[in-house]
Structure 1
Amino acid sequence: MFSVQSCEPKGKEEGQEVIKEVVIQADEPEYFLLRPAVEQAYGYSHAIKIGNSIKVSGAVSMDDEGNPTAIGDLAQQMKNCYADLDKILKHFGCSFDDVVVENIFTTHMPLLLENAAYRAEIYKNNFPTGTWVGVKELALPEFMIEIELEVHKSD
């Protein structure tokens, strides 16, 4: 619960203060697990929605048992990440048009740059803000790319 108070003079002549209180009820978080067993084992939720904001954990190229897929193929790993992200967005009634931030982590920046044009197939209207970061490694050595999102769902 969040409370805001304001002190305003009731009238110039009286000099009394009137206290107004506004109570804003906080939204309860909605958790979404794409692969519940895997996410429980590693200790994370794939997405959390609070109000109109949705935070999506980094998607990597894995099967439903958590095994890496498309090993050594960054282009296919990227496509697999976006396929999983699409499932999460659809769960919340959203699309890639609702994405406001996209952060990409990769172990091979030159390959990401070679395959970046694929993103135009994902973001058909506008690209979101975001950052691309080259990293030494991701959670498992076979992962070459991880994509996380922040989403704003309009009312």
Structure 2
Amino acid sequence: MQTPTHQAMRIMLALALIVSVLNCDQQQKETPQPIEKEVVKAHETPEYFLLRPEVEKAYGYAHAVKTGNAIKISGAASMDDTGQPTAIGDFGQQMKNCYANLDKILKHYGCTFDNVIVENVFTTHMALFLEHAAFRSTIYTKHFPTGS
């Protein structure tokens, strides 16, 4: 028998986005550019960002880290500032909450969703995700990133 917590976690959208962005301060060009290798210099100090400091300290992770021109975001889940699931049973709202959290992180670094080049989505209910996937067109208005 599953506990109410297990049931809530199954229902809750487990949408995690691993987002990588490059050169957020520059406008993206519409024409394809040659592929450049990312070079991280030894003297570059990582810049850490905590979206929910108490939760992240308790679990032992940083929500985002910028090194050079690359930003790595750990992901997003529909939760409040204490780490409790939100919008349980409302997949669409959970998705909106996830992208709203990611938007806060991107803005912190001077970026938008137009700068995102990789997005990996993890969900516990693919059929529901597909029902709500059109929402992503409101987030990615110029192009979709690569991902899985």
Give the TM-score normalised by the residue count of structure 2. Answer: 0.71
Cα distance in 1 for partners of 2:104, 2:75 equals 13
Higher strand share: 1
Residue 48 (structure 2) aligns with: 31
Cα distance in 2 for partners of 1:84, 1:117 equals 18
Residue 122 (structure 1) aligns with: 139
The one-letter amino acid paired with 1:66 is G
The one-letter amino acid paired with 1:38 is V
Residue 75 (structure 1) aligns with: 92
Gaps of 5+ in 1: 1-23, 132-155
Deviating runs (4+, > 2 A) in structure 1?
Answer: none
Out of 82, 90, 94, the residue aligned to residue 107 of structure 2 is 90
Gaps of 5+ in 2: 1-40
Residues 5-154 of structure 1 mapped to structure 2, 5 A cutoff: 25-131=42-148
**70-79 or 83-92, larger mean C-alpha shift:** 70-79
Residue 17 (structure 2) aligns with: none
Cα distance in 2 for partners of 1:25, 1:33 equals 23
Deviation at 1:61, TM superposition (A): 0.3
Q: Percent identity?
A: 69
The one-letter amino acid paired with 2:118 is V
Q: CA offsets per residue over residues 90-114 of structure 1, 9 Å max, x none?
A: 0000000000001110000000011
Higher helix share: 2
Deviation at 1:25, TM superposition (A): 4.1
Cα distance in 2 for partners of 1:43, 1:89 equals 21
Over aligned residues, Cα RMSD in angstroms? 0.9
The one-letter amino acid paired with 1:129 is T
The size of the alignment, in residue pairs, is: 108
Cα distance in 2 for partners of 1:110, 1:52 equals 36
